[in-house]
Amino acid sequence: MKKIVILISGRGSNMEAILETARRDQWDSRVVAVISNRPDAKGLETAARYGIPTAVVPSRSYPERASFDAALQQEIDRHAPDLVVLAGFMRILTSGFVEHYAGRLLNIHPSLLPAFPGLDTHARALATGVRFHGATVHFVTAELDVGPIVDQAVVPVLPEDTEESLAARVLEQEHIIYPRAVRDVAEGRLRIVQGRVLPYTSDR
Ligand code: NHR
Ligand code: GAR
């Protein structure tokens, strides 16, 4: 049984998709804790409804990134997780933190990386006039939003789209690809080879 810790900052709909899928499909892996850097994150209540232990490590209370990351790492490691999942987690993490979880730290980013790393991805997609947009699940590395890609989903950008309508279309796909990716990584079905994510196969 693999142990998963989920980090959130807000609504937690991706977290809920993972909890719901894990329960429905009776995963062998288990979400052992949900941790937020914001005390007011709505996702904390959702996690509690699923009976998952929650904790807050308030980033506002730490003047330095390194001291926040150290406190967060300590809280995470109480659970000795096999996998740490960022789900709408809004704080850039220090290289020391990222290296501590190398190969077991996942993120979902709301764009088709390498397009639109960073924030405000839907507004930037609309402003750029791309015809397709989407979401990317990737391993987290020290450099922002460039880690090895686990999966992507594509959605069309429609002429009448607003930031909200586009975000909603992307989010629907996030809720499909993220639970699947989390399960595949937790259950050891994927490996990183020269910066690319490959399935384990019997013939290679
Ligand atoms: N940390 C590292 N080192 N590497 C990555 O790839 C990371 C990461 C931390 C978070 C998620 C990412 C996203 O999917 C993520 C990937 C926050 C920011 C940001 O600018 C950017 C990208 C992501 C998450 N955060 C501001 C900061 O100064 C704060 C913004 C806020 O609090 O609202 O940390 O998009
Ligand atoms: C999701 O769209 C996720 O991809 C994005 O924020 C939303 C969180 O929603 N993540 C980031 O922008 C990370 N910087 P959720 O809290 O309902 O899962």
pLDDT of residue 203: 55
For 154-186, the pLDDT digits (tens) are 999 999 999 999 999 999 999 999 999 999 999
**Helix, strand, coil percentages in the chain from 3-state DSSP, rounded to 5:** 35, 25, 40
Hey, is 158 helix, strand or coil?
coil
Residue 143's CATH number: 3.40.50.170
Whether 175 is catalytic is no
Number of independent structural domains in the chain: 1
Distance separating alpha carbons of residues 140 and 105, to the nearest angstrom: 6
The residue count for the chain:
204
What is the number of the ligand closest to the CA of 118?
1
The two tokens of residue 158 are 């429609």
In ligand 1, which atom is closest to the CA atom of 121? 35
- For ligand 1, is residue 8 a contact (CB within 6 Å)? no
Residue 204 domain flag: no
Nearest CA to ligand 2 atom 3: 88
Distance separating alpha carbons of residues 54 and 75, to the nearest angstrom: 10
27, 52, 133, 162 from 85: Cα distances, Å? 16, 15, 22, 29
Q: What value does the mean pLDDT take over residues 100-104?
A: 97
76 residue type, one letter: I
Residue 129 domain flag: yes
This prediction's pTM: 0.97
17 residue type, one letter: A
Enumerate the H helices of 95-199 as residue ranges. Answer: 95-100, 121-128, 163-186
Expressed in angstroms and rounded, the spacing between residue 86 Cα and the centre of ligand 1 is: 10
Residue 166 domain flag: yes
What is the number of the ligand closest to the CA of 16?
2
| pLDDT band at residue 201 under the 50/70/90 scheme | confident
Residue numbers of the domain that contains 60: 3-199
Q: What value does the mean pLDDT take over residues 87-116?
A: 98
Residue 90 domain flag: yes
Enumerate the H helices of 58-162 as residue ranges. Answer: 65-77, 95-100, 121-128
